[in-house]
Chain A
């Protein structure tokens, strides 16, 4: 056979093959039914992939700690695999997943976001999943559970809580200098004056946090509103039943101003605090001698102390006291609500196990985690970290007695929240003279 003949043969075969090949491909593609198995379902139904993904905004060490607990206590017993994921830029990613329809579960820090997702129809109500609300109220307290309520149904399952009304101080130096832990606001101011007189600066404050710069200042405001106006006014403030520039709120801001603007109170000056990263702010407390003595911040800041010095011991090198009451009192806390995007059975099963005492207790046992369980049956001995254990006692008490309130800015709509941050920075930089404008601007964002 000549080479040409072979070539011709090949070409003819090719002519025959090509259209058939093409047809076969097309047939394969069209006839292909999704063998991943899931069928349409309602909007937002992820595929049945044998995997349950919990999306969070946690720090990496915590993700590892939680994943380990999930592997030990859940994955070992079920046929699906539960995984926890940390997302940078959490709000954006949450929105994308929820609207794109690929959300399994997400641990959302803001009740406002939970309500928004419920309004959009992207998440499933706890009642629809089969949870008994009365039982849940026993576990978490009615207030906490009600924060995730929308049009009569509950959408957010409390899965984490952290304490905010804490003032940290360098205990060893503090005691050595003869200072005493203040129990009222006046004592706190007297202590600050004392420290100034002794030649140092009492307060370290830092508000910079990239795109969320200003949030620590909102925490200050919320603590002060609770302590000057009380829980009822606080609730009105959150629900916009009183305007943001109401005299009660302004009064709280003026107390804030007392700390910020009194000469010598803030190390570096108030204006500089707007540019100081919140994670850097506690640093001077661990210098020798301390550059500052008091730092008001939530419980998670504990994990940052390792950046400043080695071998620090809780209760020895540093400790905390609750921010003292003024006219009223209250406990400010924040937390996380787990929402469900897909009503697959394994998702519900996971959530049931996740809130169970055994799992919640195990998470506290890992030192790397700063999570506190909102499940009131989880006792303080579950926590490896004494600071967390003490905080959990305060929190359980607040939940049971309804004296605790959730972070207000997290409950307001996102644009108000944003304006609140921005406004606080303006206040910090501009001083008392801009306060009225700042409050008015935030009030305007409600519309």
Chain B
């Protein structure tokens, strides 16, 4: 661990951080407090009024959370969300890591163009892709009589939604990882090549361990995005009892009645729990000096 980084955590630093944190927390605090209030009160008075009399137990309730967790096959939805989120995170990261390494450290024709194309695809709004992809899943595609995409009937299957999420997450993943991998000291890679390692070994044994902070960062983002996603899940998996994921189950809790603050806030917190756990557990990978050691070694 370095010394210099910890030298100046003075009052200015601590104060600024505290202020920013409070500002950032404030909206969430409102949501948290509201999620514990009974329906009638949540709809008629501001949440801060509860803080003046925090021990008045009549104004708190666990009913909202009970309603959310009991609702609509929640356990099933939780399992479905996991079944979607885990592979839909691992797949894009893996593909992107390999591609990022290739774009950074391998020589081949057209790599600049390909990379820019991949990154440019970040701008494509995924809604534009939904109908074409659904048609592909449902009937395959032919070009001049040749089957270009086999008719796999992927609609409503996990593989279908994994592929969709992978595609939507690849541009950003490749972009982030290439930036990181490309900035690794070239001396490491050169010396590994001299030792006779091929690209695959360099990648798996050297690059991946060194890229852990970037991989961890992207894992978090992609997991969060997939976990919180509603649209893609609904289009490719559907909203039936077997297939629905957590976000859909919770949306069906309050429908179009956007004024059900008590339910919506409880639902928002329930969905947050797991992604936050993922975030906290991956936090320890954001460690200073990972590459410093490598340079010396």
Interface residues of A (CB under 8 A from B): 34, 36, 38, 40, 43, 46-47, 49, 51, 53, 55, 57-60, 63-64, 67, 83, 85-88, 93, 95-97, 99-102, 210, 277, 279-280, 304, 307-310
Contact = CB atoms under 8 A, between A and B. Distances in A.
Contacts of A279: 257-259
Given A83-B240, A279-B257, A279-B258, 11 more contacts: A59-B256, A60-B254, A83-B241, A87-B239, A88-B255, A96-B134, A97-B134, A101-B139, A102-B134, A307-B39, A307-B260
B135 A100 contact: yes
B62 interface: no
30 contacts: A34-B153, A40-B151, A43-B139, A46-B155, A51-B240, A57-B256, A59-B255, A59-B257, A63-B252, A85-B238, A85-B239, A86-B239, A86-B252, A95-B131, A96-B131, A97-B134, A100-B130, A100-B133, A100-B137, A101-B135, A101-B138, A102-B134, A102-B138, A210-B258, A279-B259, A307-B40, A307-B259, A308-B40, A308-B43, A310-B40
B39 to A, nearest CB: 7
A99 B135 CA distance: 8
Nearest to B130: A96
B240 A85 contact: yes
B138 A60 contact: no
Given A60-B253, A60-B254, A63-B252, A34 B240 contact: no
Contacts of A88: 230, 234, 251, 255-256
Contacts, number: 91
B235 interface: yes
Nearest to A98: B131
Interface of B: 39-40, 43, 72, 130-131, 133-135, 137-139, 151-153, 155-156, 230, 234-235, 238-241, 251-260
A47 B255 contact: no
Contacts of A93: 234-235
A86 B259 contact: no
B112 to A, nearest CB: 31
B158 to A, nearest CB: 14
Contact of B153 (A36, A64, A304): A36
Nearest to A30: B150
A100 B127 CA distance: 13
B255 A86 contact: yes
Contacts of A87: 234, 239
Nearest to A83: B240
Contacts of A307: 39-40, 43, 259-260
Contacts of B139: 40, 43, 101
Nearest to B261: A307
A277 B258 contact: yes
Contacts of B153: 34, 36, 38, 47
Contacts of B256: 57, 59, 88
Contacts of A277: 258-259
Q: Looking at A57, A99, A210, which has the most chain B CB atoms within 10 Å of its CB? A: A99
A49 B154 CA distance: 12
Contacts of A99: 131, 134-135
A445 B151 CA distance: 41
A310 B41 CA distance: 11
B240 A53 contact: yes
A100 B258 contact: no
A210 B255 CA distance: 13
Contacts of A96: 130-131, 134, 235
B203 to A, nearest CB: 19
A101 B137 CA distance: 9
Contact of B134 (A43, A53, A100): A100
Nearest to B241: A83
Closest 8 CB pairs of A and B: A100-B134, A85-B239, A59-B255, A101-B138, A83-B240, A60-B252, A99-B131, A60-B255
A34 B134 contact: no
Contacts of A64: 72
A59 to B, nearest CB: 4
A51 B253 CA distance: 23
Residue of A34, A67, A96, A307 most packed against chain B (CB within 10 A): A307
B40 to A, nearest CB: 7
Nearest to B260: A307
Contacts of B254: 60
A63 B249 CA distance: 12
B36 to A, nearest CB: 18
B259 A280 contact: yes
A85 B137 CA distance: 21
B40 A102 contact: no
A60 B133 CA distance: 29
A383 B85 CA distance: 43
A360 B54 CA distance: 49
Contacts of A60: 72, 252-255
A86 B255 CA distance: 8
Contacts of A102: 134, 138, 155-156
A55 B244 CA distance: 13
B280 to A, nearest CB: 30
A310 B254 CA distance: 19
Nearest to A35: B153
A58 B255 contact: yes
Nearest to A89: B231
A93 B251 CA distance: 14
B59 to A, nearest CB: 15
B208 to A, nearest CB: 22
Given A96-B131, A101-B134, A309 B252 contact: no
Nearest to A279: B259
Nearest to A56: B239
A152 to B, nearest CB: 29
A313 B107 CA distance: 77
A64 B153 CA distance: 29
Contacts of B155: 46-47, 100, 102
Contacts of A308: 40, 43
A280 B257 CA distance: 10
A118 to B, nearest CB: 18
Contacts of B251: 88
Given A53-B238, A307-B43, A100 B131 contact: yes
Given A100-B130, A277-B259, A34 B151 contact: yes
